[in-house]
Amino acid sequence: MTILLLNGPNLALLGTREPGIYGRETLDGIVAAVTARAAAAGMVVRAFQSDIEGELVREIGAARATCAGIIINPAAYTHTSVALRDAISAAGLPCVEVHFTNTHRREPFRHESVTVPVCVGQIMGFGGYGYLLALDALIHHLQQNKERA
**Least gap, CB of 146 to ligand CA2 (angstroms):** 29
77 is known as an active-site residue: no
Q: How many CB atoms lie within 10 A of CB 34?
A: 22
Cα angle vertex 75, ends 71, 80, to 5°? 110
Question: Does residue 2 bind ligand CA2 (CB under 6 A)?
Answer: no
Which residues make Cβ contacts (< 8 Å) with residue 149, sequence separation at least 6? none
Q: Provide the 3-class DSSP secondary structure of residue 43.
A: coil
Question: Does residue 80 bind ligand CA2 (CB under 6 A)?
Answer: no
Q: Which of 77, 79, 99, 140 is catalytic?
A: 99
Q: How many CB atoms lie within 10 A of CB 24?
A: 12
Question: Does residue 131 bind ligand CA2 (CB under 6 A)?
Answer: no
Selected binder of ligand CA2 within 33, 47, 76, 114 (CB under 6 A): 76
Catalytic residue ranges: 22, 99
Interacting residues toward ligand CA2 by CB under 6 A? 10-11, 13-14, 17-18, 22, 73, 75-76, 78, 99-101, 103, 110
